Amino acid sequence: IHIGNARTALFNWLFAMNNKGRFIQRFDDTDIARSKQEYADSILYDLHWLGIFPDVTEYQSRRFDIYDAAVERLKAARVLYACYETPEELDL
């Protein structure tokens, strides 16, 4: 794990512990072409080596059904805005 990411994880873990919260490790692994389980495993190994043990580990790619259901609820409530602009039009 990169030293900056280790520092951020430590700060978040300490904040959670000091506030009776939970430390959740979230992997944004939705880019299937570039995401590999070995990368997540390596990060978790490094966190454990540092003495940081997440209370929960979430993988975004395993939650697509939750996101799809949320989209359907928003559509049904007629509060979902369909964005047709290109990234260039949005200045992204």
Please give the model's pTM, rounded to 2 decimal places. Answer: 0.74
Average pLDDT estimate for 73-89: 91
Q: pLDDT at position 78, please?
A: 95
How many Å apart are CA 49 and CA 56, to the nearest integer?
17
DSSP 8-class letter at 55: S
Single out the residue of 29, 54, 48, 24 nearest to residue 39, CA to CA. Answer: 29
Q: State the Rg of the chain over Cα.
A: 17
pLDDT digits (tens, 9 = 90+) for 5-60: 999 999 999 999 999 999 999 999 988 889 999 999 999 999 999 999 999 999 99
